[in-house]
Chain A
């Protein structure tokens, strides 16, 4: 990773740095095969294109501003990932496709052309991902980047927030082909663990996925859904949720309902933003830096 860029971003964004140590970086990195290179990627989440409401009176331009901010990064990331809820839900299949297409058109302005997409329940739950697949392809997949294995999982196309037996079998088979020390990043929309079940912040069979991941020593999960930064450990596995780009939500379980935090006209976009994830130490250390929607 280019430290100069990292520092420059921190300077203008004022973002906090959170180091996600993937279980004892240096010693584990020693056993890694050659070929790992430091890099960084950007995670954006929960853009909810199509949302209208007082929680974000600026919703029509928030995503475009975030795209502009990402494009202003002095050194562009290797790739960008959107972890779901690209659009705000609608019952109308035509409108759903219109929103997905419009979202796709807006983010096509990103300078970085390697962009990975994932659905959220707002995109995919009402039609089990049919419209999403038409525009973005498969809802779960893997890819490898500079020695790190990325697994994008789908815990939203089933309206019951289940991965399902088929996807769990796919995950099991994929992990079986990995070295137990290989760096693995899991991308999801919902939390895989029971963060706040009374707010439906969970994945019904997420514990099975975590059980499959547990034998692997270098696993980190990045997800969205809860519209705020949150960090949690299940054993040695770190889970990091991202801010949204539409409205922030209250701390998990802190009140009766998960109603959006009110828009603060004196501080537009407060609580919103995106992050960069810097992979170092042969992919076994991931440093998270948070950035606002717009430059100060």
Chain B
């Protein structure tokens, strides 16, 4: 993806990202966004590549199984702590095609460096 494309999608996503962790109140939001479940465990996100559609509003429901993993989305300027026993919800609303990378930023052991993922937004 070109730099221009990346900037475009990120600007769109930034405009639409609401509170990082929406909690139980999210169910009351209008429009019923698609909910995508994601699991974090040493040393991977599952799935680690998630396809989204531009202009689609989604909620990523994240469960950590074994550690307070991080989820840093540097291009969006936001990060989350994924506490085991909780569901952490991330709302995304990308406006244009592109890629949004994320990475664990809480050192979790031998394999931490492999703990990456990305959202791939298509038209």
Contact = CB atoms under 8 A, between A and B. Distances in A.
Interface of A: 88-91, 121, 125-126, 156, 159-161, 194, 197-200, 202, 204, 256-259
Contact of A256 (B75, B107, B109, B116): B116
A160 B68 CA distance: 10
Given A198-B103, A199-B103, A200-B103, A257 B116 contact: yes
Interface string B92-120: 00000000010111111110111010000
Contacts of B101: 198
Contacts of A91: 109-110
The 8 A-B pairs of least Cβ separation, nearest first, read A197-B74, A125-B107, A121-B107, A159-B107, A159-B106, A198-B101, A200-B105, A89-B110
A257 B72 contact: no
Interface residues of B, number: 19
B12 interface: no
B110 A198 contact: no
Output the residue of A156, A159, A256 with the most chain B CB within 10 A: A159
A96 to B, nearest CB: 11
Given A160-B107, A200-B103, 18 more contacts: A88-B110, A89-B107, A91-B109, A125-B107, A126-B107, A126-B109, A156-B107, A160-B70, A160-B81, A194-B74, A197-B103, A198-B75, A198-B101, A199-B103, A199-B113, A200-B105, A200-B112, A259-B113
Contact of B105 (A161, A257, A258): A161
Contacts of A160: 70, 81, 105-107
B42 to A, nearest CB: 9
Interface of B: 68, 70, 72, 74-75, 81, 101, 103-110, 112-114, 116
B109 A200 contact: no
Contacts of A198: 72, 74-75, 101, 103, 116
Output the residue of A160, A161, A202, A258 with the most chain B CB within 10 A: A160
Nearest to B110: A89
Nearest to A258: B113
A159 B70 CA distance: 10
A257 B110 contact: no
B110 A204 contact: no
B80 to A, nearest CB: 11
Contacts of B105: 160-161, 197, 200, 202, 204
A156 B107 CA distance: 9
Nearest to B114: A257
B108 to A, nearest CB: 7
A159 B108 contact: yes
A200 B72 contact: yes
Given A198-B74, A198-B103, A199-B103, A89 B109 contact: yes
A91 B107 CA distance: 12
B41 to A, nearest CB: 14
A200 B104 contact: yes
B74 A257 contact: no
A257 B115 CA distance: 9
B113 A257 contact: yes
Contacts of B74: 194, 197-198
A200 B113 CA distance: 8
B83 to A, nearest CB: 13
Contacts of A259: 113-114
